[in-house]
Amino acid sequence: MPREQMPEFSSSVKLKYVKLGFQYLVDHFLSLLLIPIMAIIAIELLRMGPEEILNVWKSLHFDLVYLLCSCFFVIFISSVYFISKPRTVYLVDYCCYKPPVSCRVPFATFMEHSRLILNDKPKSVEFQMRILERSGLGEETCLPPAIHYIPPTPTMDEARSEAQMVIFTAMDDLFKKTDLMPKDIDILIVNCSLFSPTPSLSAMVINKYKLRSNIKSFNLSGMGCSAGLISVDLARDLLQVHPNSNAIIVSTEIITPNYYKGNERAMLLPNCLFRMGSAAILMSNHRSDRWRAKYKLSHLVRTHRGADDKSYYCVYEQEDKDGNIGINLSKDLMAIAGPLVLPASEQLLFLLSLIGRKIFNPKWKPYIPDFKLAFEHFCIHAGGRAVIDELQKNLQLSGEHVEASRMTLHRFGNTSSSSLWYELSYIESKGRMRRGDRVWQIAFGSGFKCNSAVWKCNRTIKTPKDGPWSDCIDRYPVFIPEVVKL
């Protein structure tokens, strides 16, 4: 007689609702405890007559000195709490740069240019073709004008021209969208990893918009694709000590001076993946902005693994044997550990699992947190198809959860530190962002750094009529095959 098969409890609908109930119980424990007590007190007061309530009040003997001391203590504690309480930091709005059609690089154009530029290196051309076929990029990604020349012209003037084009366009759009005047900017942070001229890019912005002389400006370089959230962290810290301030962050990567013309495979990868892009973000600690701001910053966690040699060298700028400078992307790039931000119920289950393994049985299967209970939306840095695949598997996410990352990689390529904002714009353009939704942004870059930020949506966001996805959002999501034969 065949053995009766046991039901699969892990996929049981009933178990799902039990878990959701447990999460609600843990997250609202204090409220659920206080509500019955308050209800009992209210019922008892309703049962008592006015004379009984008056007698109870008279039976309480208040000493004047004791009453004054108690009031002073309550006021003192309240003052200390409100003074020491961190200021709420808002993300008022943001804009992403949308490259012109003239900068588009279809697969056929990219490969034709590669064959002409690397005509004496057929193996390099073939390798780039194989990478491009499996990259997850689409036909509409863009490269700056200097890379369209044969051969490319990665001069300082061309690099500055690209920087002005992507940064100023994004900032102009942000000023128009938020009605912010340049003189109202108190803090300016520009991050660009591989192009660090003198004067700096932040100085270039100050000169263009004639910003105030007392502006607090910062220019971050060499920090890779995670620099966007590092800039958010820096802006948050500055907004804690400077009240009633506006901070603008510009996240970009300048492609022009970084096209690799050598033969090292690990250094040819960036040619196939990186594309032009930029984002300008307005953050504020004005209380009045809580009504118009899109998001409120809830958490920000930074992890640096630079002490480990493999982590340090996995994204490394260097010269090859022929003296060509490029970025070496190591196969160790996937060996990363992301920080966790979980609701109380998941933290409790994880802690109980850890204690059980330590005390009772080390062979117990560790509890894997359910990130889908913690967040409604995920913005995973669109560093490449393999990066998204790995994080989807490790975090046990569905295809819908990583849709924004995959579609951003397909439409815009790897735009480095600005990719998270193209992904957030995708979610908004799909009309999926509701008041109270939580968004987890995960970024990582050279060093090796893994940074994450959690934003809470302030208001239901209407589907935007402009932005980088305005002319193509109806076509997405699209099916992306494993291999696109060229």
Q: Are 261 and 324 in contact (CB under 8 A)?
A: yes
Chain position carrying tokens 């393999």: 386
Spatial CA neighbour of 431 closest among 406, 405, 461, 410:
461
Residues in the chain: 486
What letter does residue 142 receive in the DSSP assignment?
A: B
| Positive or negative torsion for Cα 103, 106, 108, 112 | positive
Mean pLDDT of successive 10-residue segments in the chain (486 residues)?
41 47 57 76 76 69 66 76 79 97 95 89 90 93 94 93 97 96 97 94 97 96 92 96 96 93 86 95 95 94 84 82 79 43 56 71 66 86 89 86 96 96 97 94 86 93 93 94 82
Catalytically active residues, by annotation:
225, 304, 377, 381, 410, 414
pLDDT of residue 89: 96
pLDDT of residue 49: 73
pLDDT of residue 344: 55
* Cα 142 from Cα 299, distance rounded (Å): 33
Q: Are 258 and 414 in contact (CB under 8 A)?
A: no
pLDDT of residue 5: 43
* Cα 68 from Cα 366, distance rounded (Å): 54
pLDDT of residue 57: 65
Q: What are phi and psi of 431, to 5 degrees?
A: 70, 30
Spatial CA neighbour of 375 closest among 293, 432, 455:
455
Spatial CA neighbour of 428 closest among 375, 478, 377:
377
pLDDT of residue 6: 38
pLDDT of residue 59: 65
Q: Are 247 and 191 in contact (CB under 8 A)?
A: no
| DSSP assignment of 296-326 | EEEEEEEEE-TTSHHHHHSEEEEE-TTS-EE
| DSSP assignment of 358-425 | HHT-TTSPPPPP-HHHH-SEEEE--S-HHHHHHHHHHHT--TTTTHHHHHHHHHH-B-GGGHHHHHHH
**223-225-226-231 Cα dihedral, nearest 10 degrees:** 70
Q: Find the angle CA(98)-CA(99)-CA(105) to the nearest 5 degrees.
A: 135
pLDDT of residue 334: 46
Which class for 446: exposed (0-12), middle (13-18), buried (19 or more C-beta within 10 A)?
A: buried
Helix axes 419-429, 227-241, angle to 10 degrees: 90
**347-350-354-355 Cα dihedral, nearest 10 degrees:** 60
